Amino acid sequence: MIHYCLTMSTSIRDLRNRFPKVRKLVESHGEVILTEKGKPRYRLTLYTPESVATPPPVDYWARLNSYQPRAMTKAQSRALHDENRGER
């Protein structure tokens, strides 16, 4: 037995025997209440997948600049190179 109201109500027997009609009710009204022996037991609603928010892309240049905010001068670069080179 299908009752037309704000939330559609139908029995479990209707769900088993007349699923295409129940599916159309869910699609058109958004929700169907299933009754068992005249008492509401279950609620069928449309499935809406959760939106998966993609994380923002990593800004590698900004991350690199956070470690070394200013570029080295030519003299500092030469001194670091000479220091790393050692006695060769």
Judged against a pLDDT cut of 80, whether residue 28 lies above it is answered with: yes
Amino acid sitting at position 44: L
Kindly report whether the global pTM for this prediction surpasses the value 0.75: no
Predicted local confidence at residue 1, as pLDDT: 46
Tokens of 12: 């479990």
Instruction: Confirm if 40 and 47 have CB atoms less than 8 A apart.
Output: no
Q: Which residues pair with 42 in a beta bridge?
A: 34
The reply to whether CATH 3.40.1620 applies to domain 8-45 is: yes
Tokens of 34: 């299933």
Domain ranges of the chain: 8-45
Instruction: Confirm if 37 and 14 have CB atoms less than 8 A apart.
Output: no
